[in-house]
A and B are shown apart, each in its own frame.
Chain A
Amino acid sequence: MITAGIDMGAQVVKVVVLNDGQVLARSMVSTGFEPLEAAQKALDEAIKNAGISRDDIKSIVATGAGRKAVTFADKALTEVTANAKGTTYLLPSVRTIVDIGAEEARGISCDAEGKVLDFAKNDKCAAGAGAFVESMARALELKVPEMIELSLKSTKEAPINATCAVFAESEVVSLIHAKVEKADIAHAIHDAIASRVSSMVRRIPVEKDVALIGGVANNAAIVDVMKKHLEVDIVVPENPQFVSALGAALSAAS
């Protein structure tokens, strides 16, 4: 059976098309200001990539912050459930999932079947999410990949105490004026995010294996500091930003 999962993220819409558990196609478009249109566009793109027609898709499940905007979906599912389904499908040994998206981060504790046992989310704050990374890269006048690369070369600790994206920017500016190396500032930024996310994740039981998913999981510098803060090894599935859409597509199949 062919199904589709649509993850309506705050910044990007991701679509996964599945055929009996095998990924046929993925697509990703900017969410913009017209989420329904963006969802339709992302689905059309995925259908084209899969070489199928719209009628071939038997069920569509939407997830993500804007899931209720996808009026053509058959069902809506929260990101927490979709994350757990998608992650345990790809990595069955995972019991703790850390998802860092553009504007939200969450920690999820689940069992072997992908059933959610507990979860924690950040509240009304961008300081522990992907948008913060982008904002800080702008403050450093770097592109995000450049900032990641520099961060991994850091040799010194630089303090950023702020748990607020706005104040952190002001601290970054102060560090620039203090002639601190950009590599160390970049590392400090990633460290601050990891510190904030880890303290939230610790509200739930952190059991091995631990997976990091969401768009920010593509950031090697974050993965590095998250390991230190959570004091565990962290696995990152392939295409971590599509895990939630995958979970939705799997749910559509069941």
Chain B
Amino acid sequence: MTTHVKYKTKPLDCWQWGKELRLEAYQDLVAGYEQGKLMVLGCAASPYGMLAGLGDFVFLAGEPYGASIAADPPFSIPCMEAYEAKGYSRDMCGYMRNFLGSMYLDKYYFTGGPFPKFDFAWSVRHCPAGHPKWHQIVSEYQGIPMNYIDDETMLSADGDPQHRLDYVAGQYLDSIEWMEKVTGRTFDDEKAIEAMRNYFRNEALWGEICLINGAVPAPLDIKSMFALMPISMLRRHEKVATQFLETLRDEMKDRIANQIAAVPTERYRMTMLTPPPWSFLKIFRYLENFGVVFIGTYVYLINSGEVKFLLDEGKAVPATVPEKRPGWPQIKNREDLCRTVARWRAEHPFQSHLDTRKKEYVILFRHWKGDAYLLLLNRGCVPMTTNMYDFQRDLQGHGIPVAMFEGNFADCRDIDETGVLDRLEAFLEGQGIHKLPGL
């Protein structure tokens, strides 16, 4: 160790529990399929807790599955090649390319065995670049039914919002009847309501955890957050996730009170807007040699997490669950559930307009006491790259230093690792941050 250590550090007390819960989630993706649980395909941002109304289920969210593969290039590259051999182009969604390649190769990443056959696909629109189209390909390939909620209309600022709410809530109600029909199961409203209450609570908890990390020194770094995020992303509908996230939050508060840092050499705090290139997570470890700690990324504050941005006050605060929000009804039945989910999705920061989002980026940066943003021009995701130069200019206009690099969150072939590190080193030199001697 060097003399550059500024803070004490220690592993998280709840780390082992977190790892076990994460492993259980992955094992369920394996065993659930083998045990004949209902296998459902969808988007990670879907209110999949509703599926609990059908009984035991396994929800394979396409994006985290694509990301898991991306982190393992020897598995990912053959998937990409299998996808390309079908005639699809390289500029499509990187997560989708890993996912579909895995399906075409009939290799399930978590087992190495055959790719699972889904009972049906059910989700919200989620991604303007076409996650429903992705799942349509799966649906046609496997011959499974598919049902998607068109909630894009909720984003419109025109017309009567009540009509739009009726339209989307109506689709949720219809989709429940549809799911009963295609599975032959009866939908239990109580179970669905309970699971969605957990879901809302866990999203708010993860958002709160992300906000707490604004302390100096940061009690968690981004690597640990990515490692623990599967609990909030894949087990959002479970009570055990609430217990864990509350424990993690309390431990973070304890670390803050005792100045226990994730990175003991912390002296420069960086933040991101999007996911990282999953095959290139060593970027974070490498930059620790410069005393750089990554506090978090906007996208996972609001995807598998929720916070409330008070735009006029320039603040980000933990979200409250829908039933505790002023003017929101208690969820007593299926209709209440569907209307609550529709309204909650519409008002979620995930749906923020780009101009609002710019304000949120600045608010979050200040909250996290950041020194610079790191932006990714992501060849693997059009929506997460669109407007990136606009965001860069806006952030710089607020006096925020911005580093930018080009890569792909899901395709290791699109990353010039040496070039990216060189670029970041040059950026840090410009900020007066040099590699710590001896590291």
Contacts and interface: CB of A to CB of B under 8 A. Distances in A.
B423 A121 contact: yes
Contacts of A80: 426, 429-430
Nearest to B422: A78
Given A65-B422, A78-B422, A203-B389, A124 B429 contact: no
B419 A81 contact: no
A78 B416 contact: no
A115 B428 CA distance: 12
Contacts of B183: none
A123 B425 CA distance: 16
Interface residues of B, number: 12
Contact of B396 (A115, A118, A121): A118
B194 to A, nearest CB: 50
Contact of A77 (B406, B427, B429): B429
A78 B389 contact: no
Interface in B389-439: 389, 396, 406, 416, 419, 422-423, 425-427, 429-430
A105 to B, nearest CB: 13
B416 A117 contact: no
A52 B126 CA distance: 68
Contacts of B425: 78
B430 A117 contact: yes
Interface string A148-186: 000000000000000000000000000000000000000
Contacts of A77: 429
Given A78-B422, A123-B406, A116 B416 contact: no
A123 B419 CA distance: 8
A119 interface: yes
Contacts, number: 31
Interface in A116-142: 116-119, 121, 123-124
A79 interface: yes
Contacts of A119: 426-427, 430
B430 A115 contact: yes
* Dominant secondary structure at the B interface: helix
A78 B426 contact: yes
Contacts of B396: 118
Given A123-B406, A124-B416, A124-B419, A81 B426 contact: yes
A203 B392 CA distance: 10
A95 to B, nearest CB: 14
Interface string B378-389: 000000000001
Question: What size tier do the contact residues of chain A reach?
Answer: 10 to 19
B429 A116 contact: yes
B422 A123 contact: no
Interface in A22-76: 65
A8 to B, nearest CB: 12
Contacts of A124: 416, 419
Contacts of A203: 389
Contacts of B429: 77-78, 80-81, 116
Contacts of B406: 123
Contacts of B419: 121, 123-124
A113 to B, nearest CB: 12
A123 B416 contact: yes
Nearest to A116: B430
Nearest to B437: A75
A78 B421 CA distance: 11
A78 B389 CA distance: 24
Interface string A78-98: 111100000000000000000
A21 to B, nearest CB: 21
A79 B389 contact: no
Nearest to A251: B429
A39 B136 CA distance: 57
Contacts of A117: 430
Contacts of B423: 121
Nearest to A203: B389
B429 to A, nearest CB: 4
A103 B235 CA distance: 48
Contacts of B416: 123-124
Contacts of A78: 422, 425-426, 429
17 contacts: A77-B429, A78-B425, A78-B426, A78-B429, A79-B426, A80-B426, A80-B429, A81-B426, A81-B430, A115-B430, A116-B430, A118-B396, A119-B426, A123-B406, A123-B419, A124-B416, A124-B419
Interface of A: 65, 77-81, 115-119, 121, 123-124, 203
Given A80-B426, A115-B430, A118-B430, 6 more contacts: A78-B422, A78-B425, A116-B429, A118-B396, A119-B427, A121-B419
